[in-house]
Amino acid sequence: MQSIMATERPASSPTAAVRNVPNELPSATERSSQVLRLADGRRIGFAEYGDPEGLPVLAIHGTPGSRLMFALTDRAARERRLRIVAPERAGYGLSDFHLQASLAEAASDLEQCADALGLSRLALIGVSGGGPYAVAAAAALPGRIALLALINPVGPIAECDRRIRISKAHRLIFSRLGRSDAVCTAFFWSLRRLVHFAPGLAYRVLQQRVAASDRAVLARDEVRANLRAALREGLRPGIDGARQDLRLYCAKWGLSLGDIDVPAVLWQGSDDAIVPPGAAYDLAETLPNCRLDVIQGGGHYWIFSGFERVLDAARAALIGPAPR
């Protein structure tokens, strides 16, 4: 466990405090290694990027992943005067693990984070495995969400798998792997060892699994460095966070999706080989106020070349009038 500095930064919530973590991580800055202490004593790690005084955007990382994923948004967010707050889910990076029974319970951590940092009205971004958590947070905070932005999200597969076409590989991952603790544990321990001891091999394996359009994105030096750092940091404390992710979003979500009436945009690569596009399309149809934007020929990682379009949508929603 990393130690925490004794000094605190004032937080708006009387039940939470924000602290800075010493720069023990490679290339870490004070803003990218912070800890929020919840009322029950648990730690939630988070990073901030972009304009510290900008309009607030809560950005939820994928599976597995960490707060470091959104470092690539820093310049574009500054240009748009956006403040990116990227918390880590329980069990990832600087966040203590906590067994959670549902997506709604997990969303409570995000709500406390928003409260403690004074984010009264915000845009919410969920990437890949962060999508289900962003949807759950939107259900918990409907009056505060200017925009729910979902990027290649994991959809509610357990609830729509009979309505959609799904590949054998996706069915294996999101049924057998996601619903078997033994198989899930073996997979993520193997991945963690590979990421830590043979990161080059892990990256080459990833490049072989993705769509052709993704390979060009993954070949960029800054993307390679970012993904390696984000994965390594996310899995550094163990695999409990990743196991919990699959357990929660591969089961029935327990959310009334048709009642989550917040402005939403869902961007989905048509050639995504990591998550089932059909489940994302189904999610877009079920959310009552959601626009679907299909990235034709795009894979799972198109976002690393397209963060600007998502941040433009977030800014437009935040500077517009609040919904009545």
Q: pLDDT tens-digit profile of 22-38?
A: 433 334 458 999 999 99
Residue entry with tokens 């009056």: 143
Q: Which pLDDT score, from 0 to 100, does residue 264 have?
A: 98
Query: Would you list the DSSP string of 238-251?
Result: -SHHHHHHHHHHSS
Given a cut of 50, is residue 279 above it in pLDDT? Answer: yes
Express as a percent the part of the chain with pLDDT over 70: 90
As a whole number, the mean pLDDT across the chain is 90
Nearest to 173 by CA among 263, 272, 275, 90: 275
Q: pLDDT tens-digit profile of 183-202?
A: 899 999 999 999 999 999 99
Given a cut of 60, is residue 79 above it in pLDDT? Answer: yes
Strand partners, 291: 265
Neighbours of 187 (CB within 10 A): 17
Q: How confident is the model at residue 18 (pLDDT cuts 50, 70, 90)?
A: low
Q: pLDDT tens-digit profile of 125-172?
A: 999 999 999 999 999 999 999 999 999 999 999 888 778 888 888 887
Which sign does the torsion angle of CA 87, 89, 90, 94 carry? negative
Cβ-in-10-Å burial (0-12, 13-18, 19+) of 200 comes to exposed
Q: What share of the chain is helix, strand, coil (3-state, %, to 5)?
A: 45, 15, 35
Q: pLDDT tens-digit profile of 200-257?
A: 999 999 999 999 999 999 999 999 999 999 999 999 999 999 999 999 999 999 999 9
* Contact predicate 286/258, CB 8 Å: yes
φ, ψ dihedrals at 36, nearest 5°: -100, 125
Question: Domains in the chain, please, with CATH?
Answer: 8-319 (3.40.50.1820)
Q: What is the largest CA-CA distance in the chain?
A: 53
* Contact predicate 194/206, CB 8 Å: no
Helices (H), 149-219: 157-160, 168-171, 178-179, 181-197, 199-209, 212-218
Q: pLDDT tens-digit profile of 8-17?
A: 333 334 345 5
| Integer Cα distance of 231 and 235 in angstroms | 6
* Contact predicate 130/62, CB 8 Å: yes
What angle do helix axes 221-235 and 181-197 make, rounded to 10 degrees? Answer: 130
